[in-house]
Amino acid sequence: MAKTAGTRERVEPPSPATAASSESASGAAALILDNFASMHQVVQRRDLRLLEHGGPFPDLILIDGAKGQLASVYEALEELGLSNLVAF
């Protein structure tokens, strides 16, 4: 695609198939999605914000996943000192 003066080339984000591959066409490392780390980060960020601002904490947290997702969320709560609020 030839560019003319004063124009920008639009760059599209990688497709899910490309993002999941180990390498992109240019040889650079591609983005690899980690569901466990994502759930850990979301819970940790949300609950840290609640701790900083004084709550209120939710009465119920639903985890969509299996043992791995549950363990990752529980680990995030443990790191914040909130594991005593969890009942299985």
- Per-residue model confidence (pLDDT) at position 23: 46
**pTM (global) more than 0.85:** no
Nearest-angstrom CA–CA distance, 45 and 67: 21
Q: Which residues of the chain have pLDDT under 70?
A: 1-32
| Residue pair 48/40 in contact by the 8 Å Cβ criterion | no
| Residue pair 34/65 in contact by the 8 Å Cβ criterion | no
- Per-residue model confidence (pLDDT) at position 37: 93
| Residue pair 21/29 in contact by the 8 Å Cβ criterion | no
- Per-residue model confidence (pLDDT) at position 42: 94
Q: Which candidate, 28, 37, 31, 36, places its Cα nearest to that of 18?
A: 31
CA 27 to chain centre: 24
- Per-residue model confidence (pLDDT) at position 87: 80
* Residue the block writes with tokens 């709560």: 77
